Structure 1
């Protein structure tokens, strides 16, 4: 009697073959991804070649390849500048203030709107709060000038009615950062709240129904259901904002600031604009940009690590 022959296990497809199988079966989905990949390749990754300017004494007529190498000279020039410590401090402080004030304000607005039961009122408030997001900073500055002008501003008119001397909000270093943060929150609070409202809408209604059966108050429902439900989104948004810590909002500050508030309002981007663009020091501007990118990457990784460790949620 012949011995039974052992059946060999079927060969497992290699990773390359599995990829080809996925491409054949879901090729339409992969085609939809191609435009996005092309965008990042052309407008995000290809321009990284220009980072070489940071290590060269760039001359427009010689181009990037023809300009001489100077190594770390541009970085040394930046870090040895007497203004660098001040502008770095201003940048970090303004960004931190915006995160500390703006994120809780947007979360609070989203929670309040989520609890509103009158639908037309909820839509009206949401529309009114997110419309300023579409205004340019030039328009916002005009509004701030009408409200905060020391001679004819509405705020100072109100202070004069109580016997308080007018305050130069836009040219007083004591108040300038508060004006920046307040105008930024006013402009973006409604738009930022949309993200949290979407997260609140994804929470299962059965959780609220069970809490109502247990006679939990509305505050308890918000504290124990709504906030934990949107915590991953809060962590995600905060982590991304921390990654942009060295970008305090060039357009806003460029429109609002003046020489009287340089000591508290001058940030890295505005300093680079004056030195790199107006002063034709393109290599210095590129070096600052590369420095910001590296610091932002480190901050993003650190914030994501901290979020995963303490909040059990992160970007990846």
Structure 2
């Protein structure tokens, strides 16, 4: 078994752990022509700049708002759909709905972003409908900073809620059927069975999913934002990951971009540790 694990361990060491040596750039005034060994060491100066630039603050705020919105809706909506789908008695219809809502999970954000641009573009389906039905002028949805966060959250929910729904359907299927029989004997209808049997029984799974999602509070989705945003929506759509990308690879500020990324990783590591601690305390969930 250890031999079977060896290729995965080697790949992880090469592509996940070895690159961590580059984090020293966060403490340097890195110059590509000097390399890591020849660049000047500046201590925590790059981290101080994070709190001096308005763009850094805005990226952190945007990341937090978008990520928390995704977490909350991504927790509530799959539970509701799973509870509703559990009431469908026709197995063919149930499996069909389950498959349809799960399919978007396998689409890349490049594909989804292309679909959204066709749907929400100036000459897209939505603007054509608004123009013909209400005589409205075209709306630049993806270029409107006030609408961008809502579009991001809703599209992420559409793409990913099917996966969460599968998790909760699996939890529901493991509920002891004798509990429902006892509830029926006590005169409970379908609504009260859901309220007093189904929801309490899946609550440990809900707690696990909610607490584990805390570690992603600073992950607002680089792939999605990068394929949808533009300079017009930086004020509400620019997140830490896209900000690091622009500062590092586009503007050439490698040290500052590395510092921002390391700051985000440090906070995420702390929140992940807290999340696992809470998951073990409230739901008995543990990895090791």
Same fold (TM over 0.5): yes
Tell me if 1:215 matches 2:187.
yes
Contact 2:211 2:278 in 1 (8 A): no
Output the CA distance in 1 between the equivalents of 2:114 and 2:241.
22
Q: Match of 1:111?
A: 83
| Cα distance in 2 between the residues matched to 1:164 and 1:224 | 48
Residues 145, 153 of structure 1: 8 Å contact kept? no
CA distance in 1, matches of 2:82, 2:147: 28
Q: Which runs of 4+ in 1 moved over 6 A?
A: none
Cα separation, 2, equivalents of 1:155 and 1:237: 38
2:114 aligns with 142
Matched residue, 2:202: 230
Aligned residues: 287
Displacement of 1:223 in angstroms is 1.8
Q: What do the CA deviations read for 1:220-273 (whole angstroms, capped 9, x no partner)?
A: 222222222222222222222221111111111111111111111111111111
The one of 118, 121, 126 equivalent to 2:93 is: 121
* Structure 1, unaligned runs of 5 or more: 1-27
Q: Distance in 2 between matches of 1:38 and 1:244?
A: 26
Which structure dedicates a bigger proportion of its chain to helix? 2
Structure 2: how far apart are the matches of 1:227 and 1:163? Answer: 46
Distance of aligned partners of 1:161 and 1:234 in 2 relative to their CA distance in 1, 3 Å threshold: same
CA distance in 2, matches of 1:57, 1:139: 38
| Contact 1:95 1:247 (8 Å CA) reproduced | yes
> 1:175 offset after TM fit, Å?
1.2
Query: Partners in 1 of 2:19 and 2:201 — Cα distance?
Result: 39
Partner of 2:225: 253
Cα deviation, 1:18-49, whole Å, max 9, x if unaligned, reads xxxxxxxxxx5x66665555554444333322
Q: Distance in 1 between matches of 2:194 and 2:134?
A: 39
In structure 1, C-alpha distance between the alignment counterparts of 2:184 and 2:137, rounded to whole Å: 52
Q: How far, CA to CA, are the matches of 2:236 and 2:131 in structure 1?
A: 24
Offset from partner CA, 1:151-202 (integer Å, 9 cap, x none): 4423661475245554332111221111001110111111221122222222
Q: Which residue of 2 aligns with 1:55?
A: 27
Match of 1:263 in 2: 235
User: Alpha carbons of 1:104 and 1:69: their partners in 2 closer, same or farther (altered >3 Å)?
Assistant: same
Determine which structure has greater relative contact order: mean sequence separation of CA pairs < 8 Å that are 6+ residues apart, divided by chain length. Answer: 2
Note if 1:100 corresponds to 2:72: yes
CA deviations on 1:109-160 (whole Å, 9 max, x unpaired) are: 2222222221111111011111111112222122222332344423661475
- TM-score, normalisation: structure 2: 0.88
Match of 1:300 in 2: 272
